[in-house]
Amino acid sequence: MKLEELIQSSGEWLRGEGPEADIVISTRIRLARNLSQFPFLTRADDAARAEIERILHAQIARLTPRKALNYFDVTTLQRLDRQFLVERQLISRELAEGHGPRGVAFSNAENASLMVNEEDHLRIQVLHSGLALEECWKEINQIDDMLEEQVSFAFHQQLGYLTACPTNCGTGIRTSVMLHLPALVQTKEIQKVFQALHKIGLAVRGLYGEGSQAMGDFYQISNQTTLGKSEEALIKNLKDVIPNIIAYERRVRGEMVKENKQQLHDMVSRAYGILKSAQTITSEETMQHLSSLRMGINLGLIEGLRIPTVNELFIFTQPAHLQKLRHGTLDSSERNIARATYLRERLAEQN
Of 77-81, 228-232, 344-348, least confident by mean pLDDT is 228-232
What is the CATH topology of the domain spanning 3-248? Answer: Creatine Kinase; Chain A, domain 2 (3.30.590)
Q: Where are the alpha helices (DSSP H) in 62-199?
A: 79-87, 93-97, 133-148, 182-186, 190-199
Which residue type sits at 45? D
**What pLDDT is attached to residue 213?**
54
Of 16-20, 252-256, 320-324, least confident by mean pLDDT is 16-20
Which residue type sits at 278? A
Which long-range contacts (C-beta less than 8 Å, at least 24 apart) are formed by 116-119?
A: 116/52, 116/53, 116/56, 116/57, 116/60, 117/41, 117/49, 117/52, 117/53, 118/91, 118/92, 118/94, 119/32, 119/41, 119/94, 119/164, 119/165
pLDDT for 261-304, tens place per residue? Answer: 999 999 999 999 999 999 999 999 999 999 999 999 999 999 88
Cα–Cα distance, 296 to 269 (Å, whole number): 8
Per the DSSP assignment, residues forming a β-bridge with 220 are: 178, 205
**What pLDDT is attached to residue 212?**
47
69 CB neighbour count, 10 Å cutoff? 18
Where b means 16+ CB within 10 Å and e means fewer, 184-219 reads bbbeeebeebeeebeeeebbbbbbbbeeeebbbbbb
Sort 14 into a burial class: Cβ within 10 Å, 0-12 / 13-18 / 19+: buried
pLDDT for 123-165, tens place per residue? Answer: 999 999 999 999 999 999 999 999 999 999 999 999 999 999 9
281 CB neighbour count, 10 Å cutoff? 23
Percent of the chain with pLDDT over 70: 97
Q: Map out the domains of the chain as residue ranges.
A: 3-248, 256-349
Which residue type sits at 81? D
Cα–Cα distance, 137 to 173 (Å, whole number): 10
Contacting residues for 183 by C-beta, under 8 A, at least 6 apart = 189, 249, 252, 253, 256, 295
- Size of the chain in residues: 351
Contacting residues for 177 by C-beta, under 8 A, at least 6 apart = 24, 26, 27, 28, 131, 133, 220, 221, 222, 238, 242
Per DSSP, 206 falls in state: B
Rounded to an integer, the average pLDDT of 197-218 is 75
Which residue type sits at 128? H
Rounded to an integer, the average pLDDT of 330-347 is 96
pLDDT for 164-196, tens place per residue? Answer: 998 889 999 999 999 999 999 999 999 999 999
208: pLDDT strictly greater than 60: no
Cα–Cα distance, 250 to 254 (Å, whole number): 6
pLDDT confidence band for 347 (50 / 70 / 90): very high
Q: Which among 186, 178, 184, 180 has a CA at the least distance from the CA of 251?
A: 184
Q: Could you give the maximum distance between any two Cα atoms of the chain, in Å?
A: 64
351: pLDDT strictly greater than 70: no
